[in-house]
Every structure is written in C-alpha cells, then in structure tokens.
Structure 1
C-alpha cells in the first residue's frame, strides 16, 4: 500500500532524524465541532512500547476508501470488546476473522498509527501506516500488516523489514499476514456466523454435545442429539462450540452436515498415540 497523505504531511513537517510513531488518542481525538484533534508523536523506543495503548485507544489514522470495485470497507464485529474493527479490503477481513478465531488477540485497532522512518532507515523521510495494532491475551502488543503472498514484492519486503525493526525497538510482536487456504477460510466464515453469545448453548446442552462428540460425530448427528424435536435449532450451538475450539473440525475439508466434529481431548489423544 502506498503511503497516504497524512504520512507525507507528517514527514514533511517533522523531518526528524529519528524514527517516530504518530497517533491520535481517542480520548482527545475529537473536539467539540467533530474535527480531528491534535496528533501526538514520540520517538520509537522501548519506553513508548511499554505504554498502555488500550488506555490511549488510538483512532484510525489512514483515510482510505478501500479497494475500488473489489471491496467496500466493512466493519467486523469483535466479540471480545463488543466493538467494530474497520477492514480496508476483503483480505484484511479474512485475516481479522482468523485472528478472532485464534483466540490470542484481546483487542484490535485498525490503522492506528503512522510510522515515519528516520535518517538511518532506507525509507528515511517516508512513512507507513500498519494495518492493525493488537493487544494479546498476555498483555503484550504487536502490529500486523496484511498483504497476499503473491503481492509481496521487493519494495513491500523493505517496508515490512523496517516495520519489524521498529517493533523490535518497541518490544512488540510483528507479523505480515499473507493469507490462508481459501476453502478453510470459507468454512471458518460459515462457523463465524455462530460466534456470538446468542448462539452459545446452555451449559446442560453443551455437556450433551461434548459428550456425544467424544467418539467423533457428524454435524447432523450432533444436531439431532442436542435437539431431537428440531435439529436445525442446534446447528448454531454445535458451530459455536467449534468456533470456541471446544470441538475440533477439519476446516480444510468440505463443510456440510456430514462433517465430523470431535472433542479436543479426543484429537489430542490421537496425536499422542501417533
């Protein structure tokens, strides 16, 4: 992705010899008439990386309309914080979906800051807006960039390498997300429809489903066991347990009523035996 206008403006104004991070705190990000508030900045360093970024709650920095003709910017509902994460492209939405399913990310901010590279960087005077800032379940932070593997060219690799170096200075994690198996992503998208709390089964029903799946059962069988009078009602319950990783399902296989679900304990037992 090309540097956006806001980064060019920062780089032209500052011309700092040091690599800097620029952001807009949400608590002071809007003034009375709704205009953007003052943008803050600091030299990239370990002290900055140890700040409580959840309290800063940075606003979106990039002002982009998304990828024309291919995707309309979408808001992904992040269940953990009951808030929406803005996605610039379908590739970003798929990666956010996988991050949500992985369960290692507590909070996620879209395009939360601009990095302006200092004189020692091969990108001196240029800037980059990472796609996502994440706070992980262990309290640590990290940045994510999204780029399909076939679009990671030499220019992008330099940008990603320099961003990784900044994250190393901050004491943060960094990863470039390059995509997943298309069929697995489609299957996960189907499961995600049942990720909401409204699809969570009652404790007693949850125990029935997990007990029935210990030997491995098809999705259709589990639905009939959980709700004999109306099996379709139980589809969301079964899929919710799979989304929460209490049931194992092969996302790389065809997904239908004959898909086999099994408890995590049974899958781990098979791996140990192998």
Structure 2
C-alpha cells in the first residue's frame, strides 16, 4: 500500500541536508551521502500532494509516458514539455515526478526545503535530478539550484535545470508524440520494410508512398507506423526544422 503523500514537509533540525523519499510505500528520511545514490528513486511515488485550487495559474495533469508505460504527473505546461523531451530521449529509461524533498540544514537562509520536479534513470545506470523553471524562474532560484547541484554532486547524480525546448523541436515532438503508443508500432516485418524504403534519405511523403506500396498497407496506417519509428528514433530527421511531408527522413 502506498504511503499517503505529504501535505507539508517537516523541519530539518540537524546541521546536514536530509532527503525525504517515498520508497516501497514508506517515507524514508536519509542523510545526504553517496549511499542515497543506490535508492531506486525511479520507483518512488510523489513525496507531496499535487495541490489544485480555483483560479490556479498553472495547468496540471497526467502525461502517458511510453518510457514508463504509465502516467506521470506534471504541474505546469513547461513540466509537460520536459516530460515530452524525456520520453523521447534515448538515454532515459525511467521517469519519476516529485521523487524527493531536500530539507536544508537548520541554519540555511531562505527556504527550508525544496521538492525536485523529476528524477530520471539513465541507460548507463546513473541518476539525474531535474528542476523545471522558466528562464526568469531559473534566475530567481539560482541560489537554490546551486544548493541542489552540490547535493547531487555529493550523491553522484547529474543535475539539470530545464527551461524549455527550442520552439521547432517542441512542435515536432508534440506531433510525433501522438504516435508514441504501441498501437502505432508496426510489426517487425513491416518495420523492416519501412526501414528499407528509407535506407537512403527520402522526403517523408515519397517514403510513405513507397512504404505503403511495399507493405500493401493503407497510407494512413503507414503514416502512423513511420511517425512512430521517428519517435522511437529508428528513423531520423532534422528535428530542428519544422517536420512536414517534404522533410527528409532516413534509417
């Protein structure tokens, strides 16, 4: 049974930073050290409640992650944009929202604690803690980010402050994300035929026509398959430019 999410965080009365994380249904209170790096934070539940109230300016919701095979919570559209990028990243194998709270030592000025936005597990086994901030927010919270980075260095994690994607990349990922689900995935033999069609770079429309003809499938189904393979990075295209039917795609 999962532990209830915290509505408020306890005060740290010690002289060292503490880590709160909900692991295996119970909240653990750990001293910052390299030992924390062995905790599987990708399997934690959010450490605190996601609050909502009438007139709240942030948009919150659930994002279905093709990496996790389940929903991940977010509290803003910028957090959703991060999830989109992380879900598409080839080096990320698991994502957790609000995985921990950092309780600063009792003599720390300003905020007493900080709840990180995301933790991701990398393909090489390393961990990365992520805070999502607008450009102005990143500047405003620079001191807090510096404290968090020092904690991550001590534990052995990467640390990232995400401030948003390039507009063209964000637009392309939103389009491709519509095909991230397994229902758009082609069978193995169909995928091989599609990859053969794009062995040399082809405009997307031309490649779709050729793949549809080769596989005997409708152009609509072929389009879903091809866009899924681009999302999965089996096929490639220039994601820094607007994706269109004239975009070159290659295997």
Stretches of structure 2 lacking an aligned partner (at least 5 in a row): 1-5
Match of 2:203 among 211, 218, 221: 218
The residue aligned with 1:248 is 236
The residue aligned with 1:260 is 248
Distance 1:67 1:233, change over 3 A: farther
Alignment of 1:94-243 (within 5 A): 94-119=81-106, 121-123=108-110, 126-153=112-139, 155-228=140-213, 230-243=218-231
CA positional deviation for 1:67: 10
1:219–1:257 CA contact under 8 A, matched in 2: yes
1:45–1:169 CA contact under 8 A, matched in 2: yes
SS at match of 1:106: strand
1:66–1:89 CA contact under 8 A, matched in 2: no
Match of 2:18 among 8, 17, 20: 20
SS at match of 2:125: coil
SS at match of 1:152: helix
Stretches of structure 1 lacking an aligned partner (at least 5 in a row): 30-38, 264-274
2:65–2:72 CA contact under 8 A, matched in 1: yes
Q: How many residues align?
A: 243
CA distance in 2, matches of 1:135, 1:236: 29
Distance 1:107 1:66, change over 3 A: farther
CA distance in 1, matches of 2:177, 2:22: 31
SS at match of 2:198: helix
Q: Cα deviations across residues 58-91 of structure 1 (Å, max 9, x unaligned)?
A: 3342433389565531211122331111011010
1:24–1:61 CA contact under 8 A, matched in 2: no
**RMSD of Structure 2 on Structure 1 (CA):** 2.3
Q: Cα deviations across residues 207-226 of structure 1 (Å, max 9, x unaligned)?
A: 22222212211221122122
CA positional deviation for 1:119: 4.5
* Higher percent of residues as helix: 1
TM-score by length of 1: 0.80
CA positional deviation for 1:233: 1.7
SS at match of 2:95: strand
TM-score by length of 2: 0.87
Distance 1:76 1:24, change over 3 A: same
